[in-house]
A and B are shown apart, each in its own frame.
Chain A
Amino acid sequence: MEKTKRIVKLTVNKEIHEIAINVNRTLLEVLRENLSLTGTKESCGQGACGSCTVLLDGLPVRSCLLLAIEAEGRDITTIEGLSKGEQLHPVQDAFIEHHAIQCGFCSPGMILTATAFLDRNPKPTEDEIRHALSGNICRCTGYAKIIKAVKALADSRR
């Protein structure tokens, strides 16, 4: 009988984890269930909503569409990896300051996508922000304040 289980080495938030997992498990499942990093949310499970967004080598991807074993050797950042202890990341601060959080379910994905976007494009236009966040759905429809938070942070850095 061939093995469907493997030991996988994942680098999450700069920590290395060696975990024995079934190879059919997604990165989302392993983050939440094995590493208890429940900040990454599951919503549609089909790659449509963006709530499971994590950063893979600094780029936002859907962790529900990624086998955990495929993320071996890559640098994974979850929402838990953004803050430094009690000190929040500037994007998190901007979301709080501009009331860009309602139920909060989309927030981890929104914040990670916005963080990666601002790292690559520190002086974006509003249209560019809208495009960058277009793969993240907010069912509270709180888009206006989310865009405002990202724009305000970018403007404050000019």
Chain B
Amino acid sequence: MRSSACRGRRGGKSLSHRVERRSNSKRRKNPYCVIQVIKNSTMETCIKESDMTRSAVRLSKIEKGYGASQVLRNIDLTVEAGEFMTLVGPSGCGKSTLLKILAGLDQPDAGSIEIGGELANRLRPSQRDIAMVFQSYALYPHMRVRDNLAMPLIMANLPFVARMPVIGHLVPGMSARRRQIGSTIGEVAKSLGIEALLERKPSELSGGQRQRVALGRAMVRQPGVFLMDEPLSNLDAALRTQVRTELVELQRRLNATFLYVTHDQVEAMTMSGRIAVMMDGALVQVATPAEIYAAPADIRVARFIGSPPINILPAQIGERGDIRLFGESQKLRTDLTPGERIQIGIRPEDVAVVAQTQPLGASSLKHARIRLIENLGNEVIIHLILTGDGQVPVTARLPQRDWAEVRASGGDPDLVRVGLWPERFLVFDGAGRLARSEKLRDAARLEAVS
């Protein structure tokens, strides 16, 4: 029954189609087949169709400057077909500019843009097989939701005269197309659960509803690539979490390529297959969320990803190539030149906090004073200052249960000891790049903690 519905919409063409390269954005496949594919994965015809609805994106050597300031420097980025890629970076790093260049709303000074294997530099935004969701949603405030959703379809399917106000409705032979547009809108609205809102104006909608309408307007065209420019930043925190999961589900359902721009590292970490981190107009690292977190290529990435932020401690390379932190050798070796000043990154959860009364074990146990405790319920974030070693601030994160044990062992409530595992150190060289490090053979575990 599902298969007939799927073919029915495509009419006679569904049998004749083969896996052909899309060369024209006007050729559209039905995404609702894709939705059904998820429910019934045995339908091969639809799966083939779904393969074709997504497009890969390849940006190479993109340069962009406004006046004297260089906004984008030599950007090379490939988004695979069907991938959810997040472009993340602090405000003003150029990520939105990059998205606008990809959408055709801005022109690069140099470099090439390929969408679905086609060079898109000279194509207008509407010809690029993309759809975009804006941070402000950019819904047309004077149109009902229905007309907002219809806009891309009207522009793509009706000739100029038929689009004119008033007289457009006098053009013969358009009623079939208008009906088709109407039914597409109905299907998209249904899949997003906004059917009840179709006759309303955007000003009568809540933020979450507007967000859905903006998403719907992107979906009706069945684009190969969805571009999203911080689409969740105008939602309140609870709704943001909900829409986050919905977006991920939608992306899987549509099997479309998503390029998602955000400055929120939580969104980047939770939603995407891969993250592209941008800093000061350059791509610093493109990797999976796990890789970005565990092995940030640059100290700026390390600082940007992770909440609470990573601890950065100044250190130095010793004469044997070992790392000296607070003047002590850390039983960790690198290939960096002896004497070089380096920085060590330690994630808050890699900072062990033990009670003051605990006997001193490993040499790297330090005395620390508690500055502030943030209790998040399931875990505790403790802001500490290492006493003695230049009053360095350190943030630790530990499960509530462990913290309760530390507290139960008594002693001065403001004083604890802190343990650092050298094998979890992220070593950044003088230029801020991640350096390879390996444990020295005689390295011992931190007995006191383990």
Are A and B a genuine interacting pair, yes or no? no
- Identify the B interface with A (CB < 8 A): none
- Identify the A interface with B (CB < 8 A): none
